[in-house]
């Protein structure tokens, strides 16, 4: 018996075998169906999908045998991965010097072998799809084509497995990074909000105590300091909400009254007579979703309508409609509107459609990004219709499959 030589690229070939993480794995239907089919087409009692490891041949799928592996030095497949042929055929192993004396012949009565190498995209031969028989024989053209085609399909399954592994790993990494960002946002919120509040409070005290005592220029500088602190504080609050949006959306779903929802939002954001929020209390309905997420979504939308209103009064109408497959919530205002080009970008983090709001403050560009993220997590959609100088209508659709 003559063992197969070791390939010149053996180190990298073994790394390629390990990359798929198939060694010592349990049987899988996708592979077992292939060996069953090939055994039937080739009319062979034994069919295998093998991976040639350092000292053994692992049988990922086996038809007709109970073994899970065999020593590499007696392996037929070890010869297949060193051959330059697209298929290795041994018509009668009992007359082949390489296998005379092999326990596969003396104990398992193997006489015939045909194997197609499993070749990855980099050209490394990992193992084979093969058939065995206990009598000398050959394969016809149909059987040869089937064996070659199914070997390619095996590699498709290998590559699909590897891509799924990479995606899973990437998703895990993203989740870890997202958790790190949440932690960072929490730390930033805690460590920066307190000193920021102190800076703004001191600036306010200095303004009050020195009114009329310092120059107008110095007084403005103190105002700039207060405004800058307020702007940074809003950014911090926005980022904290953005990175905790997963937690908001994952709150237990509960029934929410349309009227109670609107009244809660009005109580939180309407602070003067220049804003008028209308709704239809007689049309009260309930929807089932995350209460925390829905409140944050509507709070962001109504706050934007108020901040970017350019008319007196700013009017905002909030309506709810129950349709067969979803709840439809609309927020319509008479504000300055958004151009068609800007609508495409408003959900990007830090993007602002307007330079300043009605109070002369620049937006953070976080609110709508958070809104979109929350809606995606709830399986909801958002559509914006807007005309510059006339107003904006935002339509939200929440699926009713949570009822």
Spatial separation of the C-alpha atoms in residues 368 and 380, rounded to whole Å: 14
pLDDT for residue 302 is more than 80: yes
pLDDT for residue 235 is more than 70: no
Q: What dihedral do alpha carbons 67, 69, 73, 76 form, nearest 10°?
A: 70
The CATH number given to 10-168 is 3.30.450.40
Give yes or no on whether 10-168 and 247-403 have one common fold. no
Residue % of the chain over a pLDDT of 70: 86
pLDDT for residue 248 is more than 90: no
Spatial separation of the C-alpha atoms in residues 169 and 174, rounded to whole Å: 9
* Cα-based angle 193, 194, 198 (whole degrees, multiple of 5): 115
- Which distant-in-sequence residues (6+ apart) come within 8 Å of 240 by Cβ? 185, 186, 188, 189
Joined tokens for residue 54: 């350092």
Spatial separation of the C-alpha atoms in residues 336 and 343, rounded to whole Å: 13
Q: State residue 402's pLDDT score.
A: 62
Spatial separation of the C-alpha atoms in residues 77 and 113, rounded to whole Å: 9
Asked if 327 and 256 touch (Cβ cutoff 8 Å), the reply is: no
The pTM assigned to this predicted structure is: 0.55
Provide the H-helix boundaries in 43-91: 76-80
- Which distant-in-sequence residues (6+ apart) come within 8 Å of 94 by Cβ? 100, 105, 111, 136
Asked if 332 and 316 touch (Cβ cutoff 8 Å), the reply is: yes
The CATH number given to 247-403 is 3.30.565.10
Closest CA to 54 of 68, 79, 73: 73
Joined tokens for residue 184: 């960072």
- Which distant-in-sequence residues (6+ apart) come within 8 Å of 377 by Cβ? 245, 246, 249, 250, 293
pLDDT digits (tens, 9 = 90+) for 206-217: 878 888 788 887
Q: Across 93-205, where does the E strand assignment appear?
A: 112-119, 125-133
pLDDT digits (tens, 9 = 90+) for 57-101: 999 999 999 999 999 999 999 999 999 999 999 999 999 999 998
Domain ranges within the chain, ordered by starting residue? 10-168, 247-403
Higher pLDDT: 218 or 47? It is 47
């Amino acid at each position: 018996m003559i063992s197969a030589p070791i390939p010149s690229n053996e180190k990298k070939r073994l790394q390629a075998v390990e990359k798929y993480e198939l060694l010592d794995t349990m049987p899988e239907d996708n592979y077992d169906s292939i060996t069953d089919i090939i055994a039937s087409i080739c009319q062979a009692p034994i069919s295998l999908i093998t991976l040639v490891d350092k000292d053994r041949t692992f049988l990922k799928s086996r038809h007709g045998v109970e073994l899970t592996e065999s020593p590499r030095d007696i392996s037929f497949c070890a010869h297949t991965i060193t051959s330059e042929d697209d298929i290795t055929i041994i018509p009668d192993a009992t007359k082949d010097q390489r296998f005379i004396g092999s326990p596969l012949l003396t104990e398992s009565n193997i006489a015939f072998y045909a194997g197609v190498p499993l070749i990855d995209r980099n050209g490394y031969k990992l193992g084979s799809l093969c058939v065995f028989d206990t009598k000398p024989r050959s394969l016809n053209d149909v059987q040869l084509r089937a064996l070659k085609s199914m070997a390619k399909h095996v590699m498709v399954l290998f590559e699909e497995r590897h891509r799924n592994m990479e995606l899973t790993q990437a998703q895990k990494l993203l989740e870890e990074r997202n958790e790190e960002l949440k932690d960072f946002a929490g730390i930033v919120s805690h460590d920066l909000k307190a000193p920021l509040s102190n800076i703004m409070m001191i600036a306010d005290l200095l303004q009050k105590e020195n009114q009329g005592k310092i120059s107008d220029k110095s007084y403005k500088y103190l105002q700039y300091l207060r405004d800058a602190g307020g702007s940074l504080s809003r950014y911090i609050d926005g980022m904290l909400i953005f990175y905790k949006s997963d937690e908001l959306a994952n709150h237990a779903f509960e029934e929410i009254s349309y009227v109670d929802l609107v009244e809660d939002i009005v109580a939180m954001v309407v602070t003067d007579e220049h804003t008028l929020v209308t709704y239809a209390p007689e049309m009260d309905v309930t929807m089932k979703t995350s209460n925390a997420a829905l409140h944050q979504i509507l709070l962001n939308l109504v706050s934007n309508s108020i901040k970017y209103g350019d008319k007196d009064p700013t009017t905002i109408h909030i309506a709810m409609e129950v349709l067969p497959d979803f709840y439809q919530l609309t927020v319509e205002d008479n504000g300055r509107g958004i151009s068609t080009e800007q609508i495409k970008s408003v959900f990007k983090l830090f993007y602002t459609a307007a330079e300043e709001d009605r109070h002369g403050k620049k937006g953070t560009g976080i609110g709508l990004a958070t809104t979109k993220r929350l809606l995606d997590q709830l399986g909801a959609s958002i559509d914006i219709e807007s005309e510059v100088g006339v107003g904006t209508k935002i339509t939200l659709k929440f699926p009713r499959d949570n009822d």
